Amino acid sequence: MREFDKLKHSLNYYKDELFKINGTHFTLDSIITTRSKEMIEAKRVAAKAAECLTNVLIIGESGTGKELFAHAIHNASSRSREPFIKVNCAAIPSELAESEFFGYAPGAFTGAARQGKPGKFELANGGTIFLDEIGDMPLLLQSKLLRVIQDREIEVVGGTKPIQIDVRIIAATNRDLKMLVKQKLFREDLFYRLNVICLPLAPLRNRKEDIELLVNSFLSKYNRALNKEFKGITPDVLEAFRNYSWPGNVRELENAIERAVSLGNNAWLTWADFSNIFEQERIGIVNSTNNSASLAQSNLDKTLLKGNLQQQETELIRWALTECTGNRVKAAKLLGISRSSFYEKLKKHDILNPSSALTRM
């Protein structure tokens, strides 16, 4: 009995070690509080899904948090101390896919390792397998996966008998699986097997109400990590963030904040600290204008943009002056621009006359 306890003890030790290294550091709490109805629902469904072993399909554009949710479901489940194995279905060449998924027996084919190799399903046994980019899985492999889900057993390449497996499957994709089914590129029966619980994650441009929360949360994360003390982002940048399309979603926003915190100089992160993002957006607009109709639209956009920027600049200057109780030197510093260009802007926007109560210099 003592031997047994010792073994159990060391097994738990190794499970804890595995937990530390298997990279599933996200929990449901890592998913930043959200005001978006869709995301509140997604978190609720994820918490429920963690309680059972039903297959989950997570759908969302790149950077919306699919992997984050997969980790969180695993870590909130009774399997959190068991393996979490991620497989990128798009990255495995189709000729190697079968042995990667199901492993191979010793001497199964020329060039195979002598002792054989366990496949991802065997490695995930007792835990969770995360099939990322499932929409890119080759058709042949899809039918094999379907068999694994139905029979709960795998056949090792070159092996003699099937192996029983007990694996929770979480799949994710940024592709339109229903469309792929229609195009006969994805098996309909597999789609229904995976889509038992569906978690659609909204793109960031459709949940503008979350932008401020995410910004503040990433700002404190990177202030802490990089030992900085930025107070926030200026209101004009926040407004621009709400209007930006965020093609890279939350990942892009997080990277933007990390970059700005690393490189910024003033107490507040200003327009200048995010110029790379808005520059890309502008290039995007120019590149997409390849016919006269869109050119006309683009000119209109530019006129609107110009008017909008003027107004934002005025508001920003007013905000900086209020923030620095009218001290222009401080306000210029806060905005990260030189004193002379600050004066020019005051003049251009006719913001203050020298007798104004705010003027202190």
> Which parts of this chain interact with Mg ion (CB under 5 A)?
66-67
The sheet with strand 56-59 has its strands ordered as 84-88, 128-132, 168-173, 56-59, 197-200
The distance of closest approach from Cβ of residue 66 to ligand ATP in the complex, given in angstroms and rounded to an integer, is 3
Using the minimum distance from each CB to ligand ATP, give the nearer residue, 56 or 320: 56
The distance of closest approach from Cβ of residue 304 to ligand ATP in the complex, given in angstroms and rounded to an integer, is 31
**Residue 169 binding partner per list Mg ion, ligand ATP, none, with a CB distance cut-off of 5 to 8 Å that depends on partner kind:** none
Q: Using CA atoms, how far apart are residues 76 and 27, in angstroms rounded to an integer? A: 7
Q: In this chain, which residue has its C-beta nearest to Mg ion? A: 67
The distance of closest approach from Cβ of residue 25 to ligand ATP in the complex, given in angstroms and rounded to an integer, is 9
Q: Indicate the pairing of strand 56-59 with strand 168-173.
A: parallel
Using the minimum distance from each CB to Mg ion, give the nearer residue, 157 or 171: 171
The distance of closest approach from Cβ of residue 160 to ligand ATP in the complex, given in angstroms and rounded to an integer, is 38
Using the minimum distance from each CB to ligand ATP, give the nearer residue, 97 or 204: 204
101 in Cβ contact with 144 (< 8 Å):
yes
The distance of closest approach from Cβ of residue 238 to ligand ATP in the complex, given in angstroms and rounded to an integer, is 18
Output the CA torsion sign for 151, 152, 155, 159: negative
**Residue 65 binding partner per list ligand ATP, Mg ion, none, with a CB distance cut-off of 5 to 8 Å that depends on partner kind:** ligand ATP
Q: In this chain, which residue has its C-beta nearest to ligand ATP? A: 65
The distance of closest approach from Cβ of residue 151 to Mg ion in the complex, given in angstroms and rounded to an integer, is 28
38 in Cβ contact with 199 (< 8 Å):
no
**Residue 208 binding partner per list ligand ATP, Mg ion, none, with a CB distance cut-off of 5 to 8 Å that depends on partner kind:** none
Beta strands in the chain (DSSP E): 56-59, 84-88, 103-104, 117-118, 128-132, 153-154, 163-164, 168-173, 197-200, 232-233, 268-269
Using the minimum distance from each CB to ligand ATP, give the nearer residue, 72 or 331: 72
Contacts of 288 (CB under 8 A, 6+ apart): 294, 298
Q: Using CA atoms, how far apart are residues 10 and 241, in angstroms rounded to an integer? A: 50
Using the minimum distance from each CB to ligand ATP, give the nearer residue, 69 or 271: 69
List contacts with ligand ATP (CB under 6 A): 30-32, 60, 62-68, 174, 250-251, 254
At 151, phi and psi to the nearest 5?
A: -95, -15
Using the minimum distance from each CB to Mg ion, give the nearer residue, 88 or 265: 88
